[in-house]
Amino acid sequence: MGDVVLTELNVGAVQPICTADLVRNSEEDGGGLKFRFHRGGKGTAPGSFKSLKSAFLPEGYPNSVSADYLQFQIWDTLQGLSTYIRSMLSTQALLGAIGVGETKATVVGATFQWFLRDFTGMLGGILFTLIQGSNLDSNAKQWRLAADLLNDMGMLMDLLSPLFPGSFLPILCIGSIARSITGVASGATRAALTQHFALRQNAADVSAKEGSQETAATMVGMLFGMAVARITAGNDVAMWTSFLALTFFHMYANYRAVRSLCLTSLNSNRTWLLLEGFTSRKRVPTPQEVSSMENVLPHPSSLLPFKLSRSQTRWSISLGSRISFIKPQAGWESLSRMLIQRYGRDTYMVAIDGTTIHIILHQNATAEDCLRGYVHALYLRAVLERSENVGFVGSTDAAEIESLTWMTTTYKLFLKLVQTSGWVTNRVYISPGEWRADWPRETSKSSS
């Protein structure tokens, strides 16, 4: 048969497939090199099927994307299909409400209503971005579901508006604001999830293929939507029954899509779950375990335009604090001396002011430093809470020393277990503040 010089592999399948061998013929066969194809090697997939797959799935699928990609995309496509069918029903009701088809309706009146609807929606989207912009990366999973629920609300407002002629315009504007927020949140979280799915620096390809999937779902949804709109035209009971049934399915499909996500990046909530698992059970939960523990909707406090502690105790954490806003009880002379003594060699400092644990970041602090400082604050908060639970209320200095000792002796082990459990520690979404500080770090001493 001859010696094999090299082997051709197709790595786009679940397991690499050997498609051909380059072999050296024996002298009896005339010598030389020749390809010997395995069964199906010249064409591992029919041309039409391969083209169809290339149009909707990223190059190299499934090895080029994360394991949760397919399940998420299936449920996401189904929820999108439901949305496009319902949009035909809500648009039909809305056009009827503004007077399309009625001789007494004026073009100017309809145009003004449409303008006001779009204007309030755009304004709502800008305000939402102002309040939540930095929070969308860190809670992409939760805001993805929240965005689709807001879209349901917007469509419901469109369908309800004709039933209340006296409040038609306010209801219309509320629906427009809900849909505008949906657009902002959905677009931002889609970008974050694309980065999660892409395993081969192929975010653009993953995004393009998602666009193809969405376009196909839109086309099918429009066809079904036209059919449903024709069948239910003039029958309010049939229209509402269809709309509500599709809405419940939409909510279920979105829930399944979000639940299927298994993110490996770190945000504030996941970091706390990892630290809690490590300190209480001496093991770090895997991304699959944390995914089942995570909430699927944003914390209510994240909806507010100001920061609010999410802890069940009185201690809150501020990452990237402005140092001049801290008001030390013992004065700055004592605090600055203590901070330099404890953290002078590091890229962050930890200071307690009232019930807030401040992490002051050095101007050269990296994402890994932000994670380390945040874990330090989380552990310090746990020590303070434990002290309060046993009835000790007093100086926080003992808790600060205990947390600093833990960081010195145990943090490296914790970080190693985090990485070996499947977490990506260079993708940290904890949203630090914009303030930094500078101090003369004793790097030579710290490295010795």
| pLDDT value at residue 7 | 74
Q: At residue 71, does pLDDT exceed 80?
A: yes
| pLDDT value at residue 47 | 55
| pLDDT value at residue 147 | 92
Lowest-confidence segment of 264-268, 331-335, 413-417 by average pLDDT: 331-335
How many C-beta atoms surround the C-beta of residue 245 within 10 A?
A: 12
How many C-beta atoms surround the C-beta of residue 290 within 10 A?
A: 22
Q: Which two tokens stand for residue 201?
A: 């620096």
Q: How many CA atoms lie within 13 A of 10 on its CB side?
A: 18
Contact predicate 351/326, CB 8 Å:
yes
Q: Is the pTM of this model over 0.75?
A: yes
Q: At residue 156, does pLDDT exceed 90?
A: yes
Backbone region of residue 381 per phi and psi (left: phi > 0; alpha: psi in -120 to 50; beta: other values): alpha
Residue with tokens 């931002």: 188
DSSP 200: S
- What is the side-by-side order of every strand in the sheet holding 316-319? 316-319, 356-361, 348-353
- Name, in order, each residue with C-beta under 8 angstroms of 51's C-beta and a sequence gap of 6 or more: none
Better-scored residue on pLDDT, 302 or 369: 369
Give CA separation, 88 vs 81, 83, 212, 271, in Å. 11, 9, 21, 43
- Domains of the chain (ranges, CATH numbers): 3-44 (no CATH), 69-260 (1.20.1250.20), 266-447 (no CATH)
What is d(CA 349, CA 360) in angstroms, rounded to the nearest whole number? 5
| pLDDT value at residue 138 | 86
Contact predicate 260/158, CB 8 Å:
no
Q: At residue 444, does pLDDT exceed 50?
A: no
- Name, in order, each residue with C-beta under 8 angstroms of 273's C-beta and a sequence gap of 6 or more: 285, 290, 293, 294
How many C-beta atoms surround the C-beta of residue 225 within 10 A?
A: 24
Average pLDDT over residues 416-440: 90
Concatenating the DSSP letter of every residue in 342-386 gives HHTTSSEEEEEETTEEEEEEBTT--HHHHHHHHHHHHHHHHHHHH
Q: Which two tokens stand for residue 305?
A: 């335009």
Contact predicate 446/345, CB 8 Å:
yes
Give CA separation, 306 vs 128, 189, 241, 319, 413, in Å. 13, 21, 40, 15, 35
> What digits encode the pLDDT tens for the residues 254-310?
999 999 999 999 999 999 999 999 999 989 999 999 999 998 888 766 555 444 444
